[in-house]
Amino acid sequence: MTEIDGMGTERARCVLAPNPSAMTLDGTNTWIIAEPDSEEAVVVDPGPEDRAHLKRVLDTVEARGRRVGLVLLTHGHPDHSAGAGTFARLAGGVKVRALDPRHRLGDEGLAEGDVVTTGGLELRIMETPGHSDDSLTFWLPADGAVLTGDTVLGYGTTVVEGRLGDYLASLDRLRRFAADVEAAVILPGHGPKLDDPIAALDHYIDHRRERLAQVEAAVAAGARTAREVVERVYADVDRSLWPAAEASVQSQLDYLNGR
């Protein structure tokens, strides 16, 4: 993959965290969002506890004559949230808002239907559980941009740590929403932006349905545990990814068993 620093839209700019891995792809995308004439910016997912990265994000904000007005988290996984407290202090003690109270700084959370207006922005909040129970998606209508966190990635597929039924419902909801508002771009938590949101979401939905059918077939052939399913269905996948695959398979087995 090529360097994706500077990727974004008129109002959203990406600063890539230096934490590439099989799970984080090129690294975590930290999004800086601001109205063109605003003195305040919103930072989404400061990323891991990496002071050099956090300082770079702050320098990027300040280089445009702005200050950080607020930090938002798409979810609480450490590669997105671990640096949030340090970043908030570096930025002068700003608030951190998240769905999960454990990841907040300040009294305000984030929930379905909230609208963030810091710095004149309009960011609308949707709860999209599945990748994690606390996963959120942000809609930036001025740019037609959907910030999906890890619910939809720039390439590859995401791990489902929550309930598969919730994740499938979230994908279906995002597909309908993207069509209704004519979304122009997906800005993911990892990987490059996606300039055809409908095609990306269709791919994700089709992939999940295909995997679910493969898991059903593996169970019918005698697989009983998530590990046994992974050995059959993910035989061509790098074994370093098998533990993550097991988590996704377990969610599929639970789904098939009505849990």
Report DSSP letters for 33-92, one per residue.
E--TT-SEEEEE---SS-HHHHHHHHHHHHTTT-EEEEEE-S---HHHHTTHHHHHHHTT
Q: Under a CB-based contact definition with an 8 Å cutoff, are residues 255 and 164 in contact?
A: yes
Q: What does each of the 259 residues of the chain score in pLDDT, given as a tens digit?
A: 333 555 889 999 999 999 999 889 999 999 999 999 999 999 999 999 999 999 999 999 999 999 999 999 999 999 999 999 999 999 999 999 999 999 999 999 999 999 999 999 999 999 999 999 999 999 999 999 999 999 999 999 998 988 999 999 999 999 999 999 999 999 999 999 999 999 999 999 999 999 899 999 999 999 989 999 999 988 888 888 888 889 889 989 999 888 7
Q: Which residues have a catalytic role annotated?
A: 79
Q: Under a CB-based contact definition with an 8 Å cutoff, are residues 134 and 76 in contact?
A: yes
pLDDT at position 82: 98
Q: Which two tokens stand for residue 57?
A: 């994000």
pLDDT at position 149: 98
